[in-house]
């Protein structure tokens, strides 16, 4: 599905402040779990989970389970143009994500990821 994404589908999926911030943070961090996104965005778990489901269903994100944690990352089969849009948007709007980035960096306990993701 991700390789068939159209610009209309991508921009519709990202046409929400919370979803685009989530996608940009995930793109920058490579992988985040629900608790990290909840803390960074200062939103409830149910709202974050609902937005993650939308991003996953439209093909922008994939997830993996590690113990009790579910980690989200950009779908590995995204077309290059989607990765480029997210990278350029994130780099060009760092001040827009500053509050969320600061919150994430101040999070006291962040779940450890496996070093070997095979």
Q: How many angstroms separate the CA atoms of 50 and 78, rounded? A: 21
Please indicate, yes or no, whether the overall pTM of this predicted structure exceeds 0.85. Answer: yes
Residue 60 lies in a domain: yes
Residue 95 lies in a domain: no
| Per-residue confidence in pLDDT tens, the chain, 118 aa | 566 889 999 999 999 999 999 999 999 999 999 999 999 999 999 999 999 999 999 999 999 998 888 899 999 999 999 999 999 999 999 999 999 999 998 887 777 665 444 3
Best CA proximity match to 82, nearest among 57, 117, 58, 53: 58
Residue 103 lies in a domain: no
Range of the domain at 57: 2-82
Spell out the residues 6+ positions from residue 81 whose beta carbon is closer than 8 angstroms to its own: none
Please state the domain count of the chain. 1
CATH no. for residue 74? Answer: 1.10.10.10
Residue 50 lies in a domain: yes
């Amino acid at each position: 599905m991700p390789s068939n994404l159209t610009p209309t589908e991508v921009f519709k999926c990202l046409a929400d402040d919370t979803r685009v911030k989530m996608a940009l943070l995930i793109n920058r961090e490579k992988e985040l779990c629900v608790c990290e996104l909840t803390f960074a965005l200062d939103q409830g778990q149910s709202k974050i989970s609902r937005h993650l489901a939308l991003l996953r269903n439209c093909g922008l994100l994939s997830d993996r389970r590690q113990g009790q944690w579910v980690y989200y990352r950009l779908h590995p089969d995204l077309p290059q143009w989607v990765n480029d849009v997210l990278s350029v948007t994130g780099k060009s709007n760092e001040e827009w994500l500053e509050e969320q980035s600061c919150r994430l960096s101040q999070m006291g306990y962040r779940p450890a990821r496996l070093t070997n993701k095979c």
